[in-house]
Amino acid sequence: KQEVTQIPAALSVPEGENLVLNCSFTDSAIYNLQWFRQDPGKGLTSLLLIQSSQREQTSGRLNASLDKSSGRSTLYIAASQPGDSATYLCAVRHGFGNEKLTFGTGTRLTIIP
């Protein structure tokens, strides 16, 4: 059974700092991995998707990496801003023909102005 873990559960950093969020998964046979953010009382917004054949994806100040063999992904946020405060979730898609997403427990990020 795939298990996805995110560490830390919560993180507070001063504005302007760079930070890294971690995601680990137990079964490396994944189709892709996706990072989302969730604002309080809202649905999920997709940030980055990494296919299993890729090593990283970048969008603006965000960079996500994937090391499938070790079952790890990181989300790097550069020059953090108060608007980055949210819960960040990673999710793995199990495979072609098995489309279920398994979500991590999330990291609640607070950027201190």
Q: Which spans of this chain sit near another protein (rule: CB under 8 A)? A: 31-32, 34, 36, 42-46, 49, 51, 89, 91, 93, 96-97, 99-106
Look up residue 68 and give its DSSP letter: G
| 4 or 80: CB nearest another protein | 4
CB of 88 to another protein, least distance (A): 12
The position carrying tokens 């960040």 is 88
Closest distance between another protein and the C-beta of residue 105, in Å?
Answer: 5
* Smallest distance from another protein to CB 20, Å: 21
In whole angstroms, how far apart are CA 55 and each of 44, 52, 72, 78?
A: 23, 8, 11, 18
For 16, which DSSP code? T
